[in-house]
Amino acid sequence: WTISVNRKLFHVRPNLRDALIRLRELGLAEYYWVDFICINQSDLQERSTQVSTMDRIYRSATQVDIWLGDHTGETEKLGSWIEKVSA
């Protein structure tokens, strides 16, 4: 599956495709930061530098969404557990 970001094409795996489709359907945010897209995965120097800043990126975010896959009973349990431990 291919997506276009700033007129640049990215080949993405099905799990990222599914997440982007679902997030767009839900309309939770206008913009998303996706490490696979925002960090040049073939440049080890850039990857190393960017990974070290991910803590700051996530901490300064107003909202962080994670994709666990399509909704099942198991993802419901995991979602409840995440809410519980992050409170």
DSSP character at residue 37: H
pLDDT at 74: 76
**CA-CA distance, 3 to 80, in Å (whole number)?**
32
How many domains does the chain fold into? 1
35: its two tokens:
């490490």
Question: How large is the C-alpha radius of gyration of the chain?
Answer: 15
Q: How confident is the model at residue 43 (pLDDT cuts 50, 70, 90)?
A: very high
Domain containing residue 43: 2-86
11 contacts 21 by C-beta, under 8 angstroms: no
Quote the pTM value. Answer: 0.63
pLDDT tens for residues 11-36? 898 988 888 888 888 887 778 888 88
Q: How far is CA 42 from the centre of its chain?
A: 18
Single out the residue of 62, 8, 66, 2 nearest to residue 34, CA to CA: 66
Mean pLDDT of 33-61: 89
